[in-house]
């Protein structure tokens, strides 16, 4: 009888002292771990936000889609082909404004001279940010 009483007392003491798993122990363990560094979302990038707004307000989406080829190449394909450099941004903006064909097939891209150079460059920055 003394053995049973001793075992029950020991078991109760272990439970009372945290021998079992409790939410408090899990919380303390989670709080002790260092927080992972916050990863900035692409949508937080001001170039992304401005370019996306300009693309949405233009006729670009008539011929282009983000992830799949339409009449013109997918934006992600353009981003994969060109590095995000100032020279490429200016060159691609020039192509958008002047139009042309041959880089992505026989279908020509119509010129967009009505767009401002700075707006087209913002759109190109947006597209190049879509690189995988």
Residue-wise pLDDT for 21-34, tens only, equals 444 444 444 455 55
CATH topology of domain 42-128: Cytochrome Bc1 Complex; Chain D, domain 2 (1.10.760)
**Four-residue CA torsion sign, 54, 58, 62, 63:** negative
pLDDT at 111 over 90: yes
pLDDT reported for residue 7: 57
As a whole number, mean pLDDT of residues 95-102 equals 92
For the chain, what is the mean pLDDT? Answer: 81
Q: CA-CA distance, 52 to 126, in Å (whole number)? A: 6
pLDDT reported for residue 128: 97
Q: b/e per residue, 20-52, with b = 16+ CB within 10 A?
A: eeeeeeeeeeeeeeeeeeeeeeeeeeebbebbb
Please give the residue that has the higher pLDDT: either 33 or 40: 40
pLDDT at 59 over 60: yes
Residues 6+ apart with CB under 8 A from 34: none
Q: Could you give the 3-state DSSP secondary structure of residue 108?
A: coil
pTM of this structure = 0.68
What are the backbone dihedrals phi and psi of residue 107, each rounded to the nearest 5 degrees, phi first? -75, 120
Q: Is the separation of the CB atoms in 123 and 60 below 8 Å?
A: yes
Please give the residue that has the higher pLDDT: either 24 or 55: 55
pLDDT reported for residue 102: 85
Percent of the chain with pLDDT over 90: 60
Confidence of residue 35 (pLDDT cuts 50, 70, 90): low
């Amino acid at each position: 009888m003394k053995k049973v009483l001793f075992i029950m007392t020991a078991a109760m003491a272990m439970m009372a002292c945290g021998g079992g798993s409790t939410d408090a122990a899990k919380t303390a363990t989670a709080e002790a771990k260092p927080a992972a560094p916050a990863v900035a979302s692409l949508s937080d990038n001001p170039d992304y936000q401005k370019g996306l707004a300009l693309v949405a307000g233009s006729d670009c989406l008539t011929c282009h889609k983000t992830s799949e080829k339409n009449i013109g190449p997918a934006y992600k394909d353009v981003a994969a082909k060109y590095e995000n450099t100032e020279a490429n941004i200016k060159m691609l903006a020039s192509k958008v404004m002047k139009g042309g064909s041959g880089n992505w097939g026989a279908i020509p891209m119509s010129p967009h001279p009505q767009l401002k150079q700075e707006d087209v460059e913002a759109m190109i920055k947006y597209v190049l940010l879509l690189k995988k």
